[in-house]
């Protein structure tokens, strides 16, 4: 794909990924397309085209594709079975720049928390081809002078579940350090309990994350993106680390979350700094803002640059 993107840019255009309406993208592939500005165009089999992630109708002229405001009716129809669902995780760590640094540790910790074991493999494209090895990833991409990179990883299938862990690892090199940003998903038969959500938060607290959030997904395997509208992932857990809490009283912001309508909060200690975990309600409640609204308010208060 990187070669195709380079050729498209050299020709003065953008890359279009054209698929039939039976295609589902893996979550890392969909994220990569979004980051690189690749338009996913779906052919409905009857001569009409639409954007797979938004449902906007698409028309083609002289080899170029243009999205319209109108939505294609196929995008809005109900798609997958309601007994399928799972969780989607986004998390990020910021490490100081050193000559050599260990990268891949956050992806490994998240995979262990989701499946009980470390990832099976990694690669620069899908399907992944390299056996999982934090030392190997670090030797290639952890050097201070190495470029940032976008990697894929897969984990084992949790016992009794339908799908394996599927994720992406983005290594960024800002001026103030090295960022490890991961996104991972896995199918589960039921939403996590409060205790399971807190256990997951403790595993990320141990990794000293800058921030993290967990979404519950209903109606589809969260590791795949179908060209259908199935509702939005519902925020379930918010985690704010030392950077967000610097100079602030964590309990004060936990109380702020409760005021906005969160279910509960916990200040986790141990390690170099405390973190704040906020649990959001899984079920709608009259008079209580939606979880997405509460999440937006908390990020606006603590980490507006992330949003």
pTM of the shown model? 0.82
DSSP string, 256-270: HHHHHT-SEEEEE--
Within-domain flag for 246: yes
The string of pLDDT tens digits covering residues 142-162 is: 775 666 689 999 998 876 665
**Which of 17, 44, 76 marks a domain boundary?**
76
Question: What are the helix (H) ranges across 44-192?
Answer: 73-76, 105-115, 134-141
* 68 shares its domain with 115: no
Task: Tell which of 76, 97, 117 closes a domain.
Answer: 76
In a domain, 62, yes or no: yes
Residue located via tokens 């002078």: 145
Beta bridge partner(s), residue 58: 49, 67
pLDDT tens figures, 68-92: 988 898 887 655 555 678 899 999 9
Task: Write down which residue in 76, 109, 135 finishes a domain.
Answer: 76
Q: Say if 7 falls within a structural domain.
A: yes
Q: What are phi and psi of 259, to 5 degrees?
A: -60, -35
Q: Do both 91 and 45 map to the same domain? A: no
Pairwise CA distance, residues 201 & 235, whole Å: 14
Buried b (16+ CB within 10 A) or exposed e, 198-226: bebbbebbebbbbbbbbbbbbbbbbbbbb
Task: Please check whether residues 229 and 141 belong to one and the same domain.
Answer: yes
Is the domain of 69 the same as that of 108? no
Residue 307 lies in a domain: no
Model pLDDT, residue 64: 85
Are 270 and 285 within 8 A, CB to CB?
no
Do both 100 and 120 map to the same domain? yes
Predicted pLDDT of residue 29: 85
Instruction: Indicate if 18 and 145 belong to the same structural domain.
Output: no
Same-domain check for residues 215 and 234: yes
Dist CA 128 CA 150 (whole Å): 12
Question: Would you write out the chain's pLDDT as a tens digit for each of its 307 residues?
Answer: 666 666 666 666 678 999 999 898 888 888 888 878 899 999 999 999 999 988 999 999 888 899 998 889 888 765 555 567 889 999 999 988 776 678 999 999 999 999 999 999 999 888 899 999 999 998 888 775 666 689 999 998 876 665 789 999 999 888 778 899 999 999 887 789 999 999 999 999 999 999 999 999 877 778 888 888 766 688 999 999 999 999 999 999 999 999 999 999 999 998 779 999 999 997 777 788 889 999 999 999 999 988 6
Tell me what pLDDT residue 144 has.
58
Provide the token pair at 195: 């205790």
N-to-C CA span, the chain: 29
Q: Rg (Cα) of the chain, in Å, rounded? A: 20
- What was the pLDDT predicted at 9? 60
Based on the domain organization, do 29 and 138 belong to the same domain? Answer: no
CB 119 within 8 A of CB 142: no
Assess whether 243 and 283 both reside in one domain: yes
Helix (H) or strand (E) holding 178: strand 178-187
In this structure, the answer to whether residues 91 and 233 fall within a common structural domain is yes
User: How many folded domains does the chain comprise?
Assistant: 2
Calculated CA dihedral for residues 178, 304, 211, 88, nearest 10 degrees: -110
Do residues 188 and 97 touch, judged by C-beta distance below 8 A?
Answer: no
Q: Do 152 and 6 sit in the same domain of this protein? A: no
pLDDT at 177: 81
Range of the domain at 190: 85-302
């Amino acid at each position: 794909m990187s070669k195709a993107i380079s050729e498209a840019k050299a020709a003065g255009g953008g890359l279009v990924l054209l698929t039939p309406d039976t295609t589902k993208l893996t979550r890392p592939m969909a994220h990569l397309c979004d980051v690189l500005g690749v338009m996913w165009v779906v052919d409905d089999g009857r001569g009409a085209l639409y954007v797979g992630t938004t449902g906007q109708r698409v028309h083609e002229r002289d080899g170029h594709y243009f999205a319209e405001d109108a939505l294609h009716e196929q995008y809005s129809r109900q798609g997958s079975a309601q007994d399928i669902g799972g969780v989607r995780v986004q998390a990020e760590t910021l490490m100081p720049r050193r000559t050599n640094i260990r990268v891949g540790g956050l992806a490994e910790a998240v995979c262990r928390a989701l499946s009980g074991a470390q990832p099976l493999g990694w690669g620069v494209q899908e399907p992944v081809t390299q056996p999982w090895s934090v030392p190997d990833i670090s030797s290639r991409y952890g050097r201070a002078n190495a470029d940032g990179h976008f990697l894929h990883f897969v984990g084992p299938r949790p016992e009794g579940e339908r799908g394996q862990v599927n994720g992406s690892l983005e290594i960024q090199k800002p001026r103030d350090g090295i960022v490890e940003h991961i996104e991972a998903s896995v199918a589960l038969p039921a939403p996590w309990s409060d205790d399971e959500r807190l256990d997951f938060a403790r595993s990320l607290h141990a990794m000293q994350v800058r921030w993290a959030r967990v979404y519950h997904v209903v109606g589809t395997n969260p590791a795949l993106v179908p060209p259908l509208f199935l509702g939005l992932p519902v925020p379930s857990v918010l985690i704010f680390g030392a950077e967000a809490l610097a100079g602030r009283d964590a309990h004060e912001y936990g109380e702020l979350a409760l005021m906005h309508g969160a279910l509960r909060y916990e200040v986790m200690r141990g390690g170099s700094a405390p973190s704040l975990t906020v649990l959001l309600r899984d079920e709608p409640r009259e008079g209580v803002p939606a979880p997405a609204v509460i999440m937006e308010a908390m990020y606006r208060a603590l980490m507006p640059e992330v949003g």
